[in-house]
């Protein structure tokens, strides 16, 4: 989890809600959008391959009776429709039925929304996807890439036309708060001198406690020492200041007092 | 309030909202109960309050990031556009498409002019030097024309009607949609698509007339030609509408002009889809068959006429803004 920072590849755009709040939305960057497109193209290619193998196995005009010929022409027709459908319908279909997501976008946690934050309608989906031959596929993709780089909200031409944005949705994981809450919980009725952490310090402690089990032992100890050095000024004048506890225990003890 | 106390106090509420969002995202609002929706909207509103508080007091924290995500997801569910119903879809074809065409007749006329220009160039190119055809037509087609046969005879004898009709209408729809999308290239691609298709038609016609096939070729085209060309011209017009928004946005910004005009342009482009499916079926089943000539001509005129009547006269007239 990264802190929100304004670097070239994390762009945010403000949505003003009717509730009078500026909602910060993270716009998807070039890398994840390109990757999502590649995943989708791979899906299409796989379906095409399956279709092609089926056709070459089943359809032949050498059939003896009319049933054979009818069947093989039906299969050829379905294959033609498949090619056409993948070319023009794949993105439209998924973005409409999956509310702005295709398999590739779902994999990378991207979603297409309107610039005002509402879900896309069918006509928006058609507008942004029928324009793909001009700014996504083949060498034309360079135009789309350039547009995503330079336009303020990373919109390619089709996005501008449909007034849509592609956003990145960070998955919410409430369990990151579990560790610090577990450390804090037991002291509800034992009166200990309470320590006040400011939000940044609380964030630091929370991240350390939720992640310490995943760290290498030496890294874990080193981080604990540096955190202790940072947080020590807070406990000046309490028994914790001179406490001989090792760093990690000391941090847990601190968490118990907030 | 410290951040720790804030999280401890409100976390159950946020998690409740998150699970409810999970339910409504998979099921849709229609298959949830009224109390469910009321609770969802109450939770949404209280969470926006929490977000505002967190924005003031807890900048740069994981919690703020989560609250942004949560409120965005809830907003997305609560402010939804109308569901697409059959009624809206019907009204789209009855009113929206003809209105879009009538609003942009000029672009359609320009598109027709470019297509005619292509035909004229094709005709005169073959007149000037017959070898032009060598460059743009496949050899089988050329050979059958040189030997005095329509190439369609061999093509349609090999392919069953169902296959060739699908082949025809999918490739035609691709051309039409490409002409629409080409508007984003300031109309260059649209121009090229219209011109090349007209050019091909011109070359084929002139070549056929040189080898005494003009009558047969016109008979072949009679059934579907008018409808097919009309549809391509209309979606070329859609491309020019987009190009015009980019080149000549008037008092709007270019982005706004593109968004507004794009909306009517895609309607124009969609008008061509059903027309091209019908044209493709006629081209595969009726045009190469032995129906009498008058039948093909009447059919072609009626279908083409109906298409233009639909676009120009049906549906509600534009509301005065």
Domain membership of residue A33 (yes or no) is: yes
Shortest distance, CA B196 to any CA of chain A (angstroms): 18
Domain membership of residue A237 (yes or no) is: yes
Q: Quick one: closest CA in A to B170, which residue?
A: A84
Residue B52 forms beta bridges with which residues? none
Please, are residues B74 and B17 in contact by the beta-carbon 8 Å criterion?
yes
Q: Note whether A184 and A163 are same-domain residues.
A: no
- The packing angle between helices B293-313 and B225-247, to 10°, is 30
Domain membership of residue A7 (yes or no) is: no
In whole angstroms, give the CA distance from residue B69 to residue A111: 12
In whole angstroms, give the CA distance from residue B169 to residue A186: 72
Q: Which of residues 168-187 of B touch A (CB under 8 A)?
A: 170, 173-174, 177-178, 180-182, 184-185
Q: What is the pLDDT of residues B81-125, one digit of tens each?
A: 777 888 888 888 888 899 999 999 999 999 999 999 999 999 999
B60: contact with A, CB 8 A cutoff = yes
Q: What is the mean pLDDT of chain B?
A: 88
Average pLDDT of span B154-172: 78
What are the φ and ψ backbone dihedral angles of B212, each rounded to 5 degrees? 70, 25
Domain membership of residue A224 (yes or no) is: yes
User: How many alpha carbons lie under 13 Å from residue A82 in its C-beta half-sphere?
Assistant: 19
Q: How many domains would you assign to chain A?
A: 2
In whole angstroms, give the CA distance from residue A201 to residue A233: 12
List of chain A residues whose C-beta atoms are within 8 Å of the C-beta of residue B263: 123, 127
Name which of B4, B64, B255 is nearest A258 (Cβ-Cβ): B4
Of A130, A147, A168, the one marking the end of a domain is A168
Mean pLDDT by 10 residues, chain A (258 residues): 50 76 85 92 93 80 62 81 91 92 94 90 92 86 87 88 91 83 65 72 86 86 86 76 79 78
Shortest distance, CA A192 to any CA of chain B (angstroms): 16
User: Which one, of A214, A221, A245, A219, lies nearest residue A232 by Cα?
Assistant: A245
Please, are residues B4 and A184 in contact by the beta-carbon 8 Å criterion?
yes
Residue range of the domain that includes A132: 16-168
In whole angstroms, give the CA distance from residue B232 to residue B272: 7
User: Residue A59 has what pLDDT?
Assistant: 65
Domain membership of residue A62 (yes or no) is: yes
Domain membership of residue A148 (yes or no) is: yes
In whole angstroms, give the CA distance from residue A137 to residue B31: 39
Q: Note whether A37 and A154 are same-domain residues.
A: yes
Q: Note whether A142 and A43 are same-domain residues.
A: yes
Q: Which of residues 12-31 of B touch A (CB under 8 A)?
A: 14-15, 18, 25
Domain membership of residue A9 (yes or no) is: no
Q: Note whether A157 and A250 are same-domain residues.
A: no
Please, are residues B308 and B230 in contact by the beta-carbon 8 Å criterion?
yes
Residue B153 has pLDDT above 90, yes or no: no
Q: Quick one: closest CA in B to A6, which residue?
A: B60
List of chain A residues whose C-beta atoms are within 8 Å of the C-beta of residue B68: 23-25
Q: Higher model confidence: residue B43 or residue B284? A: B43
Q: Note whether A158 and A178 are same-domain residues.
A: no
Q: Quick one: closest CA in A to B92, which residue?
A: A123
Q: Which sign, positive or negative, has the C-alpha torsion B12, B13, B18, B19?
A: positive
Q: Quick one: closest CA in B to A170, which residue?
A: B69
Chain B interface disruption, residue of A10, A15, A159, A202, most B CBs within 10 A: A202
Q: Note whether A57 and A136 are same-domain residues.
A: yes
Of A114, A139, A168, the one marking the end of a domain is A168
Q: Note whether A82 and A158 are same-domain residues.
A: yes
* Other Cβ atoms within 10 Å of A127 Cβ, number: 28
In whole angstroms, give the CA distance from residue B123 to residue A189: 96
Contact between chains at B184 and A161 (C-beta distance less than 8 A): yes
Question: In the numeric block, which tokens belong to residue B147?
Answer: 């030997």
Question: In the numeric block, which tokens belong to residue A242?
Answer: 């001179």
List of chain B residues whose C-beta atoms are within 8 Å of the C-beta of residue A131: 181, 184
Q: Note whether A131 and A53 are same-domain residues.
A: yes
Of A137, A168, A199, the one marking the end of a domain is A168
Domain membership of residue A122 (yes or no) is: yes
Buried b (16+ CB within 10 A) or exposed e, B198-214: bbbbbbbbbbbbeeebe
Shortest distance, CA A219 to any CA of chain B (angstroms): 22
Residue B7 has pLDDT above 90, yes or no: no
Chain-centroid distance of CA A47 in Å reads: 25
Q: Note whether A228 and A183 are same-domain residues.
A: yes
Q: Note whether A164 and A178 are same-domain residues.
A: no
Q: Note whether A158 and A179 are same-domain residues.
A: no
List of chain A residues whose C-beta atoms are within 8 Å of the C-beta of residue B2: 196-197, 202, 258
Q: Note whether A160 and A189 are same-domain residues.
A: no
């Amino acid at each position: 989890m990264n802190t929100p920072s304004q670097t070239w590849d994390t762009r945010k755009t403000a949505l003003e809600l009717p509730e009078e709040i500026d909602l910060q939305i993270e716009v998807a960057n070039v890398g994840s959008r390109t990757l999502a497109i590649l995943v989708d193209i791979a899906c299409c290619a796989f379906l095409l391959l399956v279709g092609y193998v089926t056709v070459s196995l089943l359809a032949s005009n050498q059939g003896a009776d009319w049933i054979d010929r009818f069947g093989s022409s039906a299969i050829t027709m379905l294959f033609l429709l498949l090619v056409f459908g993948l070319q023009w319908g794949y993105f439209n279909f998924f973005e409409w039925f999956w509310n702005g997501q295709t398999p590739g976008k779902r994999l990378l946690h991207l979603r297409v929304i309107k610039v005002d934050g509402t879900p896309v309608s069918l006509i928006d989906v058609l507008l942004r996807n029928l324009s793909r031959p001009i700014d996504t596929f083949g060498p034309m993709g360079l135009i789309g890439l350039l547009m995503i780089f330079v336009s303020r909200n990373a919109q390619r031409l089709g996005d501008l036309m449909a007034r849509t944005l592609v956003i990145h949705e960070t998955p919410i994981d409430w369990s990151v708060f579990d560790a610090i809450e577990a450390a804090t919980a037991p002291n509800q009725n034992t009166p200990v001198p309470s320590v006040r952490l400011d939000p940044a310090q609380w964030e630091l402690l929370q991240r350390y406690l939720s992640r310490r089990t995943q760290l290498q032992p030496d890294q874990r100890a080193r981080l604990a020492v540096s955190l202790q050095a940072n947080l020590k000024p807070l406990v000046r004048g309490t028994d914790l200041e001179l406490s001989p506890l090792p760093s990690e225990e000391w941090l847990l003890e601190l968490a118990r007092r907030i | 309030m410290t951040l720790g106390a804030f999280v401890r106090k409100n976390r159950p509420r946020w998690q409740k909202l998150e699970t409810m969002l999970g339910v409504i995202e998979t099921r849709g609002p229609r298959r949830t109960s009224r109390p469910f929706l009321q609770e969802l909207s109450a939770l949404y509103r209280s969470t926006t309050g929490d977000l505002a508080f967190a924005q003031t007091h807890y900048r740069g924290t994981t919690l703020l990031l989560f609250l942004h995500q949560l409120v965005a997801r809830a907003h997305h569910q609560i402010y939804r556009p109308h569901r697409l119903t059959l009624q809206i879809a019907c009204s789209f074809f009855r009113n929206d498409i003809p209105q879009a065409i009538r609003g942009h007749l000029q672009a359609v006329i320009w598109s027709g002019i470019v297509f005619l220009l292509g035909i004229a160039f094709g005709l005169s190119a073959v007149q000037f030097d017959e070898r032009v055809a060598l460059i743009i037509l496949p050899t089988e087609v050329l050979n059958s024309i040189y030997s005095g046969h329509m190439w369609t005879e061999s093509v349609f004898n090999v392919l069953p009607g169902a296959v060739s009709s699908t082949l025809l209408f999918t490739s035609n729809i691709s051309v039409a949609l490409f002409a629409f999308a080409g508007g984003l290239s300031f109309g260059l691609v649209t121009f090229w698509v219209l011109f090349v298709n007209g050019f091909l038609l011109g070359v084929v016609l002139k070549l056929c007339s040189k080898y005494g096939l003009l009558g047969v070729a016109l008979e072949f085209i009679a059934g579907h030609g008018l409808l097919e060309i009309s549809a391509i011209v209309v979606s070329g017009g859609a491309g020019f509408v987009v190009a015009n928004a980019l080149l000549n946005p008037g008092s709007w910004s270019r982005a706004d002009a593109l968004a507004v005009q794009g909306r009517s342009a895609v309607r124009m482009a969609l008008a061509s889809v059903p027309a091209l499916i019908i044209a493709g079926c006629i081209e595969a089943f009726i045009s190469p068959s032995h129906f009498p000539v008058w039948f093909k001509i009447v059919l072609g005129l009626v279908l083409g006429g109906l298409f233009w009547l639909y676009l120009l006269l049906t549906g509600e007239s534009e509301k005065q803004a």
